[in-house]
Structure 1
C-alpha cells in the first residue's frame, strides 16, 4: 500500500480501537512511537492466538469451539452495532488467554462510519483463506457480511484444523467451490447437525442471503438452549481435553 494509505489506516485503527470497550475485544491501553516504529500496549495473551494453539494442539472438540465462537460473535456484534466492521477476522487475530477465554484483536483494516447494512466497500482487504467470494471477485461487498463469512471459516477450521476451501486455487476455481459448498468434514470428526447447519449458513455464497451477525447471535443462543434442554447440556470449559488427532500442518498454512 502507498505510504499515504498506510498512514490513513493506522490513524483510523488508533482512533476507533480506543473507543472499543468490550470484554471480548482486546483493549488498547496505551500507544507511543519513536522515529521508526509505533507501539501498542495491551493485555498479554498468555496462550497466544487461536491459530498457534490449533497448530500445536489440533482440532478442538465441538463444545469448546462453540464457546470460543460465542465469545467472538459477541465481540463482533458489539462492533457491528456501532457500525464498525473488522474486515480481517482470522484465527491469527483471535487471542487466547490463560483462563481459556478469547478476545478479538488487530484492527488494522477496520472500517467505521458505515451508514447502513447495505452500504458496500471497494477496499479489498483481509487474508485469502478467510475472504468471502465477493471480495475474491473484487465486487462491491458488504463489510458486515464479509465478517460473518470469516466467522464461518474460523468455525470450520477450529473443528477440523484445516480450511474448508483450498485457497491456493485460482479465483475462479476457489469461488466455484465456495458457491457449491464443496467442503467436507474429516471422517474422524462428526459435528452435530446443528453445528453443520450453522457453518453452512455462515458460508452462504450470496452475501445478501448470508445471515447478519445479529441473526448469528440469536442462532447461537438457541443452539446452546437446545443442547441444554435436550441433552442436559453443560458448557465445557475451553480448558477441556482436545482431540488427539494431529493437525495437518501442510494443509493448514
Structure 2
C-alpha cells in the first residue's frame, strides 16, 4: 500500500525538513481544518507497518504567538494533556516539538462539533441530550476531581465521534486550581457567550463553578437551539444573567420536561455559591429519567478512581519553558492508544439505526472557520419569529 504525503510547505510555511522529520516518526500532515487563536488544526494520519490511524494535529508556532501564551497557558495545557485520560475527553495521541513548532496529535472525531450538529439537526430530543450531556458532566467531574478547570467549555469545543460519543476538547485555557481557595481564578478567559456573570464582572472567581455555568449554556443550546443570552452587548447580557431573563422558544418549550428545565435553571444560577456541582447534576431527576444512566459503567468508574489517586503535590510541576532552540524532534508525550472504549449506544434510548443514518455529518467538522462563526451567530436570536430561518 502506498501512502501519499500531503506537503503544502509554501502555504503553511513549514520547512520540508520538518515535514520529513514527522514522516519518519510515522505522521502524515493532511488537509487544513481550521485556524485557532494560537495555531492551526489539520487532519493527519499516524502510520505503522500494520495500521493507519486517523488523527488531527494542532500546530503551534511559538514564535508566532504571544509571550504570555508561550510562558503561561501553553505549559499548563501540555502538562494537563499529559495527565488526563477519560472516555469522554478527546485523547491526546502524542506531542512532538520541532524547533519552535509544537505538534499536538489528537483523536479524530468523525462527526464534528456539537454546534454544527445542533444547527444542522435542530434541538436534540431529550433521550439523546440526556445521554450526551451526562457524558460531558462525567468528563467535567473527572477534571474537577483532579482540581483541573477547563475555562473554555462551549459547543465548538465538544466533538462527536463516529459512534456518537461526546468528547470534551481544547484545553488551551485549562489549569490546576487550589481546592482550598474558592476564588481560585482571575484570568477572564472563555467565550463571552458562555461566560458566567462573575467573569463578565471581572471579579476573581471559582473556576469550577464557572465551568458549570458554561456547561449549562451548552445544555440550553442542545435542547433549545438558541443561545440564552445575546453577547453583542456585554452590559445588557450581564443584567439578563443576574435577573434570569432568558426563555425557551415557544416551538420547543412544551416539549422540554420540567426536570430538564430545573437542571438548566440550577446551572445558570447567577450566584456561584448556589450553582449546582457535577455531583448534583449527575444525581438530578432529569438524569435519573433513564435508569441506565444512574450507575457508572466500568470505564467511567475506573477513570474517576484514577483521578482520585492523582498525587496533589505534582500539580504545580509544569513545563517551565518551551525550548525553541533544539534542532531535533522531541517527544513531549509518547504515543499512546485510547485507554477507554465507549458503550454509548447500549445506553441510548433511541433507535441505533437512526444514529447510523446520519453519516452525512461525517465531514461537518471540515467547514471553514468563517462559516462556523457565521453559523454560531445564527443561534443568537431573541425571538421565535427571528429564529424560524434556522428551524
Same-fold call, TM cutoff 0.5:
yes
Q: CA deviation at 1:22?
A: 0.9
Look up the SS of the partner of 1:95 in the other structure.
Answer: strand
- Does the aligned pair in 2 maintain the 1:84–1:112 contact within 8 Å? yes
Query: Does the alignment pair 1:152 with 2:152?
Result: no
Structure with higher Rg: it is 2
Query: Does the alignment pair 1:252 with 2:363?
Result: no
CA RMSD of aligned residues (A): 2.5
In the aligned structure 1, how far is the partner of 2:80 from the partner of 2:290?
Answer: 37
The one of 114, 117, 124 aligned to 1:50: 114
Look up the SS of the partner of 2:104 in the other structure.
Answer: strand
Query: Does the alignment pair 1:206 with 2:333?
Result: no
C-alpha spacing 1:113/1:207, structure 2 compared with 1 (3 Å): closer
Look up the SS of the partner of 1:208 in the other structure.
Answer: helix
- Note the alpha carbon deviations across 1:184-230, whole angstroms, 9 max, x for none: 111121310000011000000001111122222222xx43334559x
Matches within 5 A, 1:210-249: 210-219=275-284, 222-226=285-289, 228=291, 235-236=349-350, 240=355, 249=375
- Does the aligned pair in 2 maintain the 1:100–1:237 contact within 8 Å? no
Query: Does the alignment pair 1:95 with 2:159?
Result: yes
TM-score (norm 1): 0.87
Matches within 5 A, 1:29-68: 29-35=93-99, 37-68=101-132
- Does the aligned pair in 2 maintain the 1:117–1:144 contact within 8 Å? no
Q: CA deviation at 1:36?
A: 5.2
Query: Does the alignment pair 1:3 with 2:66?
Result: yes
In the aligned structure 1, how far is the partner of 2:205 from the partner of 2:180?
Answer: 13
- Note the alpha carbon deviations across 1:23-46, whole angstroms, 9 max, x for none: 111111101233453221111100
Task: Select the structure that is richer in strand.
Answer: 2
Aligned counterpart, 1:24:
88
The one of 167, 170, 179 aligned to 1:115: 179
Equivalenced residues, count: 242
Aligned counterpart, 2:300:
none
Query: Does the alignment pair 1:192 with 2:192?
Result: no
